[in-house]
Chains A and B, each alone.
Chain A
Amino acid sequence: MLEIKNLHANINGKEILKGLNLTVRPGEIHAIMGPNGAGKSTLSSVLTGNPAFEVTHGEVTFLGKDLLELAPEERANEGIFLSFQYPVEIPGVSMVNFMRTAINEQRKYRGQEPVSATDFLRLMREKKELVEMDNKLTNRSVNEGFSGGEKKRNEIFQMAMLEPRLSILDETDSGLDIDALRIVANGVNKLKSPENASIVITHYQRLLDYIVPDFVHVLYDGRIVKSGDKTLALELEEKGYDWIKQEVEGK
């Protein structure tokens, strides 16, 4: 589904990703862990086409298409969704208007008619229940005045609405209390299917108790330096990252 080969990327002339390789197949959940500054968030930005980042080398294919050739909105409409680490507040744009525009743009991209008002409202209701989101939040401007937890829940709500093929959860657990974490994780798990895949970027093992990964990768200094199954996450939790750094630098 997603094939990343020897990916190098810069921000403001500084190289952050230094030859990253990753393959994600349908139905899989990949966790990416790593110390601060390793390039975890850069990876999610580059995959979604954030114009602040420049790809200098390598290739990325998604469902057979050259992803790097596509504009951010095209990548989104191809089925890539990013749950932002810091969801953006957009005063004056209502959640309802935002979501309807996004859904209809996606449908247009796929050659479908715009969604009817009743279908849209029904969809909103269903998906809100999935993440136990308060009704009043969808009546407000996008993320405006939302608490940290509400913003993250809103990300998962949008993910449920847009039904992506590949979802990237960037530090979705940061700033969440245990209850919110459980709700968010439940939402993610309910959306899981054999056709879809997820990349879960996290600092802590905690989230992986709820969203169980098939693979765990350690990102360090712009490269994936170690991969394993879910037990690797536990090992990292116990021993920290220093042993990985030593292992890498010792090589």
Chain B
Amino acid sequence: MEKQYIDLYTSHHETIKLHSSEVMNAVRDASFAKFKELGFPTTRHENYKYTDITEALSLDYGLNINRLKIPVNPYEVFTCDVPGIHSYLYFVVNDGFYPVNDKRNDTLPEGVIIGSVSEVSKSHPELVADYFGKMSSQKNDGLVAFNGAFAQDGFFMYVPENVHLDRPVQLVNIMRSDVDYMANSHNLIILEKGAKAQLLVCDHTVDDVKFVTNRVTEVFVAENASYEHYKLENTHNKTTNLSTLLIDQKESSNVLANVITLHNGLTRNTIEIDVDGEHCETTLAGMVIADKSQQVDNYTSIIHSKPNCNSRELFKYVLDDVSKGAFTGRLYVARDAQKTAAFQTNKNILLNRTAKMRTKPQLEIYADDVKCSHGATIGQLDDSALFYMRQRGIPEKEARLLLMFAFTADVIEDIRIDALKDRIKMLVEKRLRGELSKCEGCVICQ
């Protein structure tokens, strides 16, 4: 399975490098060597044991290493924003940043840089080189190594010291291809001291072919900075989304990550937050609604290495049909990270006997003065609540819907952009009603 990619790299690494940038190429050969050693993760790897991604990876996908332009009008594909959300809007088509002249983006505050990693590393080589690959190259993960070898571009955002982005930045990932296609991209986000930004990432598929995406996102959040990362996945069921989100948090910073899977094929999210400064606030939330044979695996890891930090984690799954869910909540509190307060919750509802959920809280606590808790439940909708509602005249279907919607409500509460919150509420309700049961192009906009 790995062989075709190893051969591809061996014979074409010059081409891959030619169409990328020096900064990205700097880690490329080392990443490739690591991938050769590790291979793709299989269920024999502890962190991947619940979900087999190798089957999806064993197929033959096209890679666009020559960076051929893909004809697409992203505005046509993505005909609407999240209504009421006034955003700076950017596109990544497949694996490349897609430049558009959008008037909305003219008013970016001074000093903010948003663009293609590849381009910015030519215009600001030192800035990119200071951060690029700093976290990802430390990881012993075959997917991350693979990404380091093959990713040629990605989305870049830089927010200078004390600059607050007045509007959320919206990044739309669009998958567009006539043949089965694999995209590797590496995003880099840097917030300087006291900076503030909100990023909304929407995953989108256009064509009825098989897609694999393998994205790595590195986020550096400096002292006193505040960063919110929202990811909304609404792709078709032939999509395999492999995503790694690495966040580094410095002193007194505030990070919120909220990942929502509304519709997909197979999804593996790895989210690792390194809380490397005192007095940090970290919120990690997520929701999964899956049916048919969809699979979603969220592997999360929060590492507290410094004292006096708070983290809170909340994930909820609603699984129907023969869908499968998995959740890992690793929480590591280092010996010096005294006065850590860390709370983790994972609650899951199985709507029938054939859906499957696996959940693993994994707390490793080496400090002795901490407050940590975890809870994981797998259950059904509450029969007594259902009957209570039906006794008030609410039909069973509607009552079930109300209960499911209520179940997901607190994850939606962890969205700090009001317009987005309203939109997600509506999308979740539609999804639960079965109105988004298949993804046809841009379902998010209907």
A and B assemble together: yes
Which positions 391-408 of chain B face chain A at CB distance < 8 Å? 391-396, 398-399, 402-403, 405-407
* Cβ-defined contact, B389 with A98, below 8 A: yes
| A71 interfacial contact with B, CB 8 Å | yes
Min C-beta distance of B427 to chain A, whole Å: 17
| B387 interfacial contact with A, CB 8 Å | yes
CA of A83 to CA of B8, assembled, Å: 71
* Cβ-defined contact, A102 with B388, below 8 A: no
* Cβ-defined contact, B398 with A101, below 8 A: yes
| B80 interfacial contact with A, CB 8 Å | no
Min C-beta distance of B270 to chain A, whole Å: 29
* Cβ-defined contact, A162 with B406, below 8 A: no
| B312 interfacial contact with A, CB 8 Å | no
Known contacts: A92-B410, A101-B394, A105-B394. The answer to whether A51 contacts B387 by CB under 8 A is: yes
Please, which residues of chain B bring their CB within 8 A of the CB of A72?
Answer: 387, 390-391
Min C-beta distance of A116 to chain B, whole Å: 19
The winner among B382, B387, B398 for most chain A CB atoms within 10 A is B387
* Cβ-defined contact, A109 with B385, below 8 A: no
Min C-beta distance of B393 to chain A, whole Å: 4
Which positions 193-219 of chain B face chain A at CB distance < 8 Å? none
Interface majority SS on B: helix, strand, loop or mixed?
helix
Which positions 361-397 of chain B face chain A at CB distance < 8 Å? 382-385, 387-396
CA of A197 to CA of B392, assembled, Å: 17
Known contacts: A50-B387, A51-B387, A72-B387. The answer to whether A91 contacts B406 by CB under 8 A is: yes
| Binary flags per residue of A79-106, CB closer than 8 Å to B gives 1, else 0 | 0011010011111110001100110011
* Cβ-defined contact, A93 with B388, below 8 A: no
* Cβ-defined contact, A71 with B392, below 8 A: no
CA of A142 to CA of B383, assembled, Å: 15
| A172 interfacial contact with B, CB 8 Å | no
* Cβ-defined contact, A88 with B393, below 8 A: no
How many A-B pairs fall under 8 Å by CB?
Answer: 76
Please, which residues of chain A bring their CB within 8 A of the CB of B393?
Answer: 73, 76-77, 102, 105-106, 109, 162
| A48 interfacial contact with B, CB 8 Å | yes
* Cβ-defined contact, A105 with B388, below 8 A: no
- CB contact between A71 and one of B382, B383, B396, B410 (< 8 Å): that residue: B396
Which positions 215-238 of chain A face chain B at CB distance < 8 Å? none
* Cβ-defined contact, A88 with B382, below 8 A: yes
Which positions 138-165 of chain A face chain B at CB distance < 8 Å? 141-142, 158, 162
The winner among B388, B393, B403, B409 for most chain A CB atoms within 10 A is B393
Please, which residues of chain A bring their CB within 8 A of the CB of B406?
Answer: 90-93, 141
* Cβ-defined contact, A76 with B410, below 8 A: no
Please, which residues of chain B bring their CB within 8 A of the CB of A76?
Answer: 390-393
Closest to B395 in A: A73
CA of A225 to CA of B403, assembled, Å: 41
| Binary flags per residue of A59-82, CB closer than 8 Å to B gives 1, else 0 | 000000000000111011100011
Closest to B413 in A: A92
* Cβ-defined contact, A98 with B409, below 8 A: no
13 contacts between A and B (CB under 8 A): A50-B387, A52-B383, A71-B396, A73-B396, A76-B393, A88-B382, A88-B384, A88-B388, A89-B385, A90-B403, A93-B405, A97-B402, A141-B406
The 9 closest A-B pairs by CB, nearest first: A92-B406, A76-B393, A72-B390, A88-B388, A102-B392, A92-B409, A73-B390, A77-B393, A93-B406
